[in-house]
Structure 1
Amino acid sequence: MNVLVEGPHWMGEWSEIVCAALQNLGHTTRLHYHNVKPLAYRLHRCLGPLQRLVGNTPADLPAWSNRQLLQMAAAGPLDVLISIQGKIDAATLRQLRIMHPRLRVVFWFGDVLFDRALPRITAVYDDVDQVLISYRGDCERLQRDLGPKVTYFPFGVSSAFHRLGPLSPVEKKRYSVDVAFVGTRYPERDQILTAIAASPDLDLAIWGRSWRKSRQLHSRGRLSMPDSLKVHHLAKISLNIHHHLTNNGFNMKFYEIPSVGGFQICEWQPELAAMGLEDKVATFRQPGELPDLLRYYLTHDEERRRLAERCAAHVWEHCTYEQRFANLVGL
């Protein structure tokens, strides 16, 4: 099939991972980044009051993105559009269906359901064929509220991207830490990690953005996805603290950590049992449990290694993106 992927240009390489999985399944893909500002857009914005002189041009980035998407769709055959965190709107979808009457449209919303998320999903629901949601609790809610087009579609591992390359001596020294956290600062995460850092016997290293807002914690910098995999591979423990709005499901990091043999500790959720992972992942139910849990696993190397190996084997056998997309209706 000819598949057009509309998605973000982002350090986590989500859009590229999707294209690689589809290509491995034999599909032809094209990729459109909906958050990249083209030169023409930037020039247009610089014109300020003179914008009216250049004629009828879109006023914002989503409108520019949708116009570019239509141009790409007109350039060749198209069977499936996959919109990832899409900026696409109903009017654009209807134009696409005029161009390609048999077009199948899949809208994938992978974030937790922020307040601004639901209006975006409902705005396109009638004009798409399937809505993919990556957290089971949110999926079940939307199935009740919107209807049967909503499908549970968790994240996974990528054979093309979640592989570890050679590690230099400098990288081994830089990323070999006892306890690592890689991720964006949220107030809830800050509070949990500050409590851990207060224990003098626990060596915590943080990478990620927005940590300048923290009063006590400091980030060692932002990481590309390949570099974050190096941290997960070399750290004795990778903490995976989900967003506080997470509703029974797992973020991308949940799969990235075991993909390179890393050991993670994350929140307990019922979905662990549904996935057959409850005996392969170390979990906590209350943040106050973390200091003692970290001390335990830092002193039980063999148990830590055994859990990491079992989790890695499971995700590579059952949770690849190729498997996810092969089971998707219409692909």
Structure 2
Amino acid sequence: MNTEFVMPVPPFPRTPAEDEKLRGRLTGFKAGYDEGYLRGRLAILDGRPEEPLPVRNIHVMYVASGKGYPYSPLDDAVLYSLQKLTAKVTVTDVHQNLVEQAAVQRPDLILVLDGLDLSTEKIAELRSKGFKTAIWLTDDPYYTDYTMKIVVHYDYVFTLERNCVEVYRSLGCAQVHYLPFAAHREHYRPVTGRSQIIRDVSFIGSAYWNRVSFFRNIMPELMSYNTVINGIWWDRLPEAPLYGDRIEVGKWMSPQETAVTYSGSKIVINLHRAHVDEVENNNALSIPAVSPNPRTFEIAAAGTLQLSDAREDMGTFYKIGEEIDTFSTPLELMEKVRYYLTHEEERREMALRAFERTLKDHTYTKRLNQLLTVIYG
């Protein structure tokens, strides 16, 4: 179906000034048409109900990370999904007396998120009393110096990094499973009306040193577009003061604020952190990261085009070049920014395909259903 905007041009002669005015009107009409078409398609897709999943007659005690923001949105997503998929959920966190709570509540499964602040002695005592335990690790492989010390204490280990599976199995963990994060639709969804934010390009994330180095090479051209960078530590970028409030320093954005920003951007850059940080390295084995980060799914769920640095396992989740696109160098990123900002229909259709794929395959209810299927069949 041809969705290009066509507006008739009056046949009578015009002055150069009238030509310029008409071109401006045509550009404005076309931009409005493109935006309206995208928002309308997104609204239709967003209105579709999620595929029904089985509700298991089990009682899950969910142990939240206890770390507050930015982990609390993950807790919200997991809890929301568990409540849809199980008969009963009891919520607690790593700072509570879990042994005492479990003795009273008698859950079928104790599911821990992150777990770095939970003593392994508590987990050992719970298992000794017959409780089934599972942990979903949030930051692999970046904190494997710590996670390798705790995973052996759980019945089931779920990691969002494919390369950590065999590492944990080599430690003696019998049940290790690859389970990346996803998009929480209550947090990340597209703006289907007129967006309050209008950007060409956005990047949201902390200024890890690999990101600072990557962006420094292309800052003049990248910022020649309507580009805004948000996140903490961007005072590490020496050129940051040159761009004023277009590089926001020192702010954590809420999921809802992030989703609105994604949705109002024509392109969102997803640049993963390095698996070994130049300053703070908690991955002594230098386990490479090949799996997509949570933002991969969240950007797609906001209904916008994503340009991500190429990761080996990205193609498992999205069709590269059809649903999202990737880059390997700063120059390749800029080539694709230029291309998609001048090929509106391709940008729009790719964003729509990624959005539809995310709703179908990459929500937290789908991930928690996978987790429960591993444990209960």
TM over 0.5, shorter chain: yes
In terms of Rg, which structure is larger?
Answer: 2
**Aligned-pair CA distance for 1:7:** 2.6
Greater shift, 151-160 or 226-235, is seen at: 151-160
SS at match of 1:296: helix
Equivalences for 1:1-331 in 2 at 5 Å?
A: 1-8=58-65, 9-11=68-70, 13-34=73-94, 65=95, 67-86=96-115, 87-98=117-128, 100-101=129-130, 103-114=131-142, 117-164=143-190, 172-173=195-196, 175-199=197-221, 201-217=224-240, 218-219=247-248, 221-245=251-275, 247-278=289-320, 279-328=322-371, 329-331=374-376
CA deviations over 1:108-132 (Å, ceiling 9, x no partner): 1121323xx3343333333211111
Q: Does the Cα contact within 8 Å between 2:200 and 2:266 map onto a contact in 1?
A: yes
Q: Does the Cα contact within 8 Å between 1:202 and 1:295 map onto a contact in 2?
A: no
> Superposition RMSD on alpha carbons, in Å?
2.3
Q: Which amino acid aligns with 1:248?
A: V
Q: Does the Cα contact within 8 Å between 1:196 and 1:290 map onto a contact in 2?
A: no
1-side partners of 2:122 and 2:101: how far apart?
A: 12
Q: Does the Cα contact within 8 Å between 2:267 and 2:306 map onto a contact in 1?
A: yes
**Aligned-pair CA distance for 1:164:** 4.7
CA deviations over 1:235-260 (Å, ceiling 9, x no partner): 01111001111611111110011112
The verdict on how the C-alpha distance between 1:255 and 1:122 changes in structure 2, with shifts beyond 3 A counting, is same
SS at match of 1:330: helix
1-side partners of 2:315 and 2:84: how far apart?
A: 29
Q: Does the Cα contact within 8 Å between 2:141 and 2:161 map onto a contact in 1?
A: no
2-side partners of 1:239 and 1:15: how far apart?
A: 25
**Aligned-pair CA distance for 1:142:** 3.3
2-side partners of 1:145 and 1:131: how far apart?
A: 12
SS at match of 1:236: strand
SS at match of 2:111: strand
Q: Which amino acid aligns with 2:235?
A: R
Identity of aligned residues (%): 22
**Aligned-pair CA distance for 1:267:** 1.3
Q: Does the Cα contact within 8 Å between 2:199 and 2:265 map onto a contact in 1?
A: yes
CA deviations over 1:182-205 (Å, ceiling 9, x no partner): 111111111222333221533320
CA deviations over 1:272-305 (Å, ceiling 9, x no partner): 3333522311100223311221111111111111
2-side partners of 1:287 and 1:140: how far apart?
A: 32
2-side partners of 1:238 and 1:276: how far apart?
A: 16
2-side partners of 1:150 and 1:30: how far apart?
A: 24
2-side partners of 1:306 and 1:31: how far apart?
A: 41
Pairs aligned (count)? 292
Structure 1: which 5+ runs fail to align? 35-64
Q: Does the Cα contact within 8 Å between 1:266 and 1:283 map onto a contact in 2?
A: yes
Give the TM-score taking structure 2 as reference length. 0.71
CA deviations over 1:127-154 (Å, ceiling 9, x no partner): 2111111021233443345444221001
Q: Does the Cα contact within 8 Å between 1:280 and 1:307 map onto a contact in 2?
A: yes
Q: Does the Cα contact within 8 Å between 1:280 and 1:310 map onto a contact in 2?
A: yes
Greater shift, 17-26 or 82-91, is seen at: 82-91
2-side partners of 1:258 and 1:95: how far apart?
A: 41
Give the TM-score taking structure 1 as reference length. 0.80
2-side partners of 1:77 and 1:154: how far apart?
A: 28
Q: Does the Cα contact within 8 Å between 1:134 and 1:154 map onto a contact in 2?
A: yes
The verdict on how the C-alpha distance between 1:237 and 1:166 changes in structure 2, with shifts beyond 3 A counting, is closer
